Chains A and B, each alone.
Chain A
Amino acid sequence: MASITQFNPSSPKRDLIIMVVFAVAVLTAPIWLAPVGASYPDLLQRFAIFGIFALGFNILFGLTGYLSFGHAAFLGVGSYAAVWIFKLLTMNVVLAIIFGVLVAAIFAVVVGFICLRRSGIYFAILTLAFAQMFYNLAYSVLTPITNGETALTLALDDPRAIDAMFGVDHGAGLPAPSLFGLELTGFTAFYFCAVVLIIAFWVSLKIFRSPFGLKLLAIKSNQNRMLYTGFNPKPYLLVAFVISGMYAGLAGSLMVITDPLAGAERMQWTASGEVVLMTILGGAGTLIGPLLGAGIIKYFENIFSALHHAQLAESFGFLPNALVEPVVSVVSLFVGEGWHLTLGILFMLVVIFLPGGLMEGIRRLSAYVRAKRAGDGEETVAGGATQPSE
């Protein structure tokens, strides 16, 4: 039994508690993340945005088992769409987000319709191919829309028609995104993203508890039985694909609220791979897992990629002098520019040893502890396997 395919119908009361705890945890993140040095708005926003991205990816991969390798494309599309709204119409983020999500949805309908004609490996390859195609196009023919390598940015002479109509004055410099006059910078921006994350999580929770979610899990479990039970799996898969594409578009448009700039590198396969990693690291198919994975990866990326040689030499100063240099040069392979190497190794380790992700690890650990406590000398399997094979 590789991945977790379980449906938890839960109860309205329990879900309410989950929602309240989650909302409190997210909104107080600046406080409880302070001790680990992660309480500045820029990083907190990244947690929220990638959390949304991973939540959406999980609705597809976690529930249906269809592995998409091209989800970053929808994120990129959402970013471009949102920046265009900023440029042409208004700096008010509401419209930008709606448009970003909508455009991502349209792309997801088209891509999903085609890719979902196949499953398994074919599906993974096809989504990857589509993402590469969008990436190539963004750098070539579509440069009038994407601005190619220089990335799409705001300019002083952008029309911003709606703002102009209502006489919104953005001052002399480049305008900042706002929510009905409230300028979204610093912690304000984080709290905005946090609220969006809470809503996104609520939707995801609802889907997980719904008959729709149960049917998606059933498709993952046995598509053949689904057919003979009278279900047409295709529209279910397409809807799941489009929802997860919309989450990606939402994440993409939130990204440009933090920093009004959209570049094609956001759509590269490495970016698609990253969201896959986040999801499986935390635990695909679990509610919280993907958020956990996104948080951990973004946190360590932040720390690791900022480290450089001198800092390392300092932190390894306790070693004998002759050792410092070799140790530092080995370690520096994995930090700074080498962060992606760490990521790749992490990716492999998770897949090899913990395909169920951290949530699976936690489950096993707690099962182990319980078994320890319960039975002295009793032969309880520590694997926490709930489904012994026949």
Chain B
Amino acid sequence: MKLDPRTKLLLTLVANGMIFTAPLAYSILMVLATSILLIFEGKWRFVCAFFFVYLGAGVFFDAVKSLDIGTSGTIIVASLFLIYRIMPGCVVLYYVMTTTKVNEFMAGMSRMHVPNKVTIPLIVMIRFFPTLFDEARDIGHAMQMRGIRLFSLRTLTNPFSILEYRLVPLLVSLTKIADELSIAVVTRGLSPETRRTCIATIGFRVQDVIVFVYCLAVVALLCGITPFSVILEDGP
């Protein structure tokens, strides 16, 4: 099931907006919707894994709440809880990142009259994430061979060294790749002035309307407009 990139953008905005402004239930509403979309994409493994971890974490926090764990314990649990609250946003981001093609995204942005100057850096970011993981994995291998591990005498006495060993080579190779990438792009004729066409067909379809209405309904529910809540409980 293909969604228009603009719908995905709305989904991301609403889901991320919910994380800190609304009660937990609203985030879960967004996660449920995204999970259905992910299952349509055949990524049910990811959905299962997510719910396993997420529900497990929920049970854990519930159990910990009533215990007396002291100050340092509270700090650790609080920071874990922060990650727990961000997780729903990550699911939506994962969905958008893995299902959106670069040219679809560019077409969507240009339909919204967003200038190329804004779009190009954004898609470079999309392109950069997989590269980042590739490079980081190779560097991890090199570190393993040198015997630099996360928990060793050397790294525990000097915790910043591990950061340095990780980041220095990563930054060097990423700068190089960024430069080569931008050269490749300008020689292919992409510039802020170009008016692109796109072979990907984008446009609003039934599924887009459903997702749009759903997102708006959740927002309305949050803002306390009651008539919508009745529909929501019966509806999707």
Q: Do A and B assemble together? A: no
**A interface residue numbers (CB < 8 A to B):** none
**B interface residue numbers (CB < 8 A to A):** none
